[in-house]
């Protein structure tokens, strides 16, 4: 009886494996077909543009000069700089969310005294103003403090915020427009960031600093 059940289980496993293999074959064929289609399309487009733009030396040199002048004009355009700037800001935010904040987004910031869950607005105020003297809990009125590790982690984001302000101020043709765009970009970075902070009951400034070694 035991051998019979073992054979039936092996038969069922083999049948499931066959179904899995048969189910993955069309996907693999579809993926290969899509890859070949993209490759062929890229090759055809490359040949088309090569045949279109490659001519005699003078026409090619003239086209290159025109393209360089067009690129310089585009880079000197304020609207193009604004689009590039906010594109870089969004790319930085995506990298932060993808590699850092996604792991900490599930963390809940609570009061160490009563367990009150801090809202996003309370976390933002604490992140901006409460790093030195702490803040009173809205539920139990007890004062809590940000841990030293969270303070160091928060301070590591300040250079990026300063760069978001001062880089466009030095790149844009108009200083006022550059500062305005920089402040908007910095506000976008700060307001959308997840404040993954940790709280404690005692003031970390009163604690002894651990040596580095």
Give the start-to-end residue ranges of the domains of the chain: 2-54, 77-206
Higher pLDDT, 16 or 56: 16
Dihedral sign, Cα of residue 134, residue 135, residue 139, residue 142: positive
Contact 122, 150 (CB under 8 A): no
pLDDT tens for 121-172 read 877 777 776 666 778 888 888 888 888 777 777 777 777 788 888 888 888 7
Q: Where is pLDDT greater, at 82 or 210?
A: 82
pLDDT score, position 167: 83
Integer Cα distance of 193 and 97 in angstroms:
8
Higher-pLDDT residue of 124, 6: 124
Given a contact cutoff of 8 angstroms between Cβ atoms, the answer to whether 185 and 168 are in contact is yes
The model's confidence at residue 21, banded by pLDDT at 50, 70 and 90, is very low
Q: What percent of the chain has pLDDT over 70?
A: 51
CB 146 within 8 A of CB 126: yes
* Tens-place pLDDT, residues 53-71: 444 444 444 544 555 455 5
Q: Looking at residues 190-201, what average pLDDT do you find?
A: 73
* Residue 212 binned pLDDT confidence (cut-offs 50, 70, 90): very low
Tell whether pTM > 0.95. Answer: no
List of E strands, the chain: 135-136, 143-146, 199-200
């Amino acid at each position: 009886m035991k051998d019979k059940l073992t054979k039936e289980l092996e038969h069922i496993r083999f049948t499931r494996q066959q179904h899995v293999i048969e189910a993955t074959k069309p996907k693999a064929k579809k993926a290969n077909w899509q890859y070949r289609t993209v490759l062929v399309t890229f090759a055809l487009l490359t040949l088309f543009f090569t045949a279109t733009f490659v001519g005699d030396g003078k026409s090619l040199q003239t086209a290159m000069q025109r393209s360089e002048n067009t690129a310089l004009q585009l880079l000197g355009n304020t609207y193009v700089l604004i689009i590039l700037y906010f594109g870089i800001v969004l790319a930085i935010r995506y990298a932060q969310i993808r590699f850092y904040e996604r792991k900490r987004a599930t963390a809940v910031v609570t009061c160490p005294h009563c367990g009150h869950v801090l809202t996003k607005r309370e976390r933002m105020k604490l992140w901006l103003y409460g790093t030195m003297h702490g803040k009173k809990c809205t539920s139990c009125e007890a004062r809590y403090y940000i841990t030293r590790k969270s303070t160091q982690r928060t301070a590591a984001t300040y250079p990026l915020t300063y760069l978001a302000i001062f880089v466009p101020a030095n790149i844009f043709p108009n200083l006022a427009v550059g500062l305005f765009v920089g402040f908007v970009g910095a506000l976008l970075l700060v307001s959308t960031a997840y404040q993954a902070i940790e709280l404690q009951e005692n003031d970390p400034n009163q604690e002894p600093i651990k040596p580095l070694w």
